[in-house]
Amino acid sequence: MFPILVTEVMRQNLSTVVGEDSSPVVGKYIVGQKKEQEETELLKLEIDNKVRKELTERGLNKIRDLGRFDLLEQRECKKRLPEALIIGIMKGGTEAFSIFLALNTKVAMSLNTATTMFFTSNYHRGPSWYRDQMMCSTGDQITIEKAPQYMPSASAPLRVYRMNPDMKLIVLVRDPIARAVSHYLQVRIAAPKLA
Ligand SMILES: Nc1ncnc2c1ncn2[C@@H]1O[C@H](COP(=O)(O)OS(=O)(=O)O)[C@@H](OP(=O)(O)O)[C@H]1O
């Protein structure tokens, strides 16, 4: 309990709570109790937030642990050039497909939404740059890149062939009209002036 100055206004306000005959002491107690209650609530909130923060940090560390590079290194994990490309079609469900595929422990697939665009606009960066963009993989995993931008590109096929004539190409197909509508809507949202 801490000293509280009970002013006339406060006493009037308190009297509506504890009755006209209440003494300042009773009033003081009630004000103090209310304040203590508020402080307890604040303290509880602070503790809750601390616990929540700690749990979140513990959770994040656990996730970090799962991808611990030293553990992966023990399994000879390193970045490798892709052996398979999901080349399309754009709006054919490639994103969902790559997420499902990434669940397979034999697959190393980067789930960055932005593709490397190596065989199109980033070819000048060279193969070691391309390799650096890949997920770390162990010897028994296949590295796959999802890049539907490669399919409509005129220069990509020869570049892909030159890098790896055995590259596996994965294509998802979709009803052309539904695909076109999906693509149109994507462009319209991204660049309303173009559509
Ligand atoms: N599981 C499953 N089955 C069928 N279709 C699915 C699935 N998951 C996503 N989608 C639909 O696929 C469209 C997005 O395709 P992409 O992921 O290839 O788009 S992108 O080219 O990577 O931008 C997009 O289509 P639209 O909704 O018509 O735009 C998604 O709804």
Q: Own/partner pairs for 152-160, CB < 8 Å, 24+ apart?
A: 152/88, 152/90, 153/119, 153/120, 155/119, 155/120, 155/123, 156/119, 156/120, 159/119, 159/123, 160/85, 160/119
**Ligand 1, residues 95, 99, 189: which to mutate, most atoms within 8 A of Cβ?**
95
Give pLDDT, residue 180.
Answer: 95
Position in ligand 1 atom list of the atom nearest CA 181: 28
Q: 174 C-alpha vs ligand 1 centroid, how far in Å?
A: 10
Give pLDDT, residue 16.
Answer: 39
Q: Do 164 and 83 share a structural domain?
A: yes
Q: Do 121 and 147 share a structural domain?
A: yes
Q: Do 94 and 52 share a structural domain?
A: no
Q: Do 157 and 100 share a structural domain?
A: yes
Nearest CA to ligand 1 atom 1: 96
Give pLDDT, residue 156.
Answer: 96
Local structure of 146: helix, strand or coil: strand
Q: Count of domains in the chain?
A: 2
Range with lowest mean pLDDT among 37-41, 78-82, 88-92, 127-131: 37-41
ipTM of this complex prediction, to 2 decimal places: 0.95
Average the pLDDT over 69-73 and give the result. Answer: 57
In angstroms, rounded to a whole number, what is the distance separating the alpha carbons of residues 82 and 159? 13
Position in ligand 1 atom list of the atom nearest CA 182: 29
Q: 52 C-alpha vs ligand 1 centroid, how far in Å?
A: 35
Average pLDDT, the chain: 76
Does residue 58 carry a pLDDT above 80? no
Position in ligand 1 atom list of the atom nearest CA 92: 18
Q: 90 C-alpha vs ligand 1 centroid, how far in Å?
A: 9
Segment 147-168, tens digit of pLDDT: 999 999 999 999 999 999 999 9
Segment 105-122, tens digit of pLDDT: 889 887 665 689 999 999
Q: Do 96 and 18 share a structural domain?
A: no
Q: Do 182 and 90 share a structural domain?
A: yes
Local structure of 85: helix, strand or coil: strand
Q: In terms of residue numbers, what domain contains 119? A: 78-190
C-beta 88 within 6 A of ligand 1 = no
Inside any domain, residue 56: yes
